[in-house]
Amino acid sequence: MSPHVELILDGPIARLTLKRPDKLNALDRAMIDALADAARTIDAAPNVRVAILSGEGKAFSAGGDIAAWGGLPALDMWRDWTRAGHRAFEALARLRVPLIAMLTGHAFGGGLELAATADIRIAAAGIKLGLPESGLGMAPGWSGTQRLVRRFGASTVRRMALTGRMFTAEEAIKLGLVDELAPEAEIVERTEALAADICRRGPIAVQIVKAMINAAEGEDRDAPIEGIAGALTAMTEDLAEGVAAFREKRTPTFSGR
């Protein structure tokens, strides 16, 4: 785990925090790996019902740390940096529990792509969001042209990615980039209240609903079908017989029940 990524399991709430405020929470390679590790830990924690993702300081995240990727050869950029980011972000987007992104600071480039992995985004008034990559001569590399289009619409993403347009939080809520707007002094309280609302609901129902929405959106089309199939077979007498027969090294006798 990177010292710049903190995961705290607080009862039913997992709190995942970027802690590199002096660098505007710019993501280096170790932080990317730590985010992927955190996603696996959250998924493996049976008591967790919701996760909150946040960043310390003036920025939620300024995106990928140029010092980490700026000197990479093209092939290494693709096979390591870009693919590692995709793996981490996909793991967060496909968490079994809802993920809330609490944006107390700006979200640029990879930082906005990270925020897009959340199911719900709450933004503090006054922050800005955008995709400035084309100004550096590069394209968004962590699903900015894919997940962001699915979740926010092509028109909005075009304006950010092609022109470098930055949107204020007040503009972003009208465009669907964020779901709620809160005064900076109240955003933590509002986020905690939303997390508590989710925790009061049926955890299995919430997780199934999330998986189904993700599938409808194109995030993980197979998960609901395979999950439901697995759950249904887990309740059958045939599965119990199949497992028993395997352990006893005999041919199973299935009843169809």
From 133, 184, 219, 248, active-site residue: 133
d(CA 200, CA 196): 6
Task: Please say whether the beta carbons of 220 and 94 come within 8 A.
Answer: yes
* Strand order from edge to edge, sheet including 59-61: 59-61, 106-108, 128-130, 166-168
Any idea of the CA torsion for 29, 36, 86, 2, to the nearest 10 degrees? -10
Q: Which of 6, 90, 113, 226 is catalytic?
A: 113
Cβ atoms 37, 1 nearer than 8 A: yes
> Comparing C-alpha atoms, which of 133, 138, 143 is closest to residue 166?
133
Reply yes or no on whether 133 is catalytic. yes
DSSP 232: H
Contact 64, 110 (CB under 8 A): yes
Active site residue 113: yes
Maximum alpha-carbon separation in the chain? 67
Q: Which residues are catalytic?
A: 113, 133
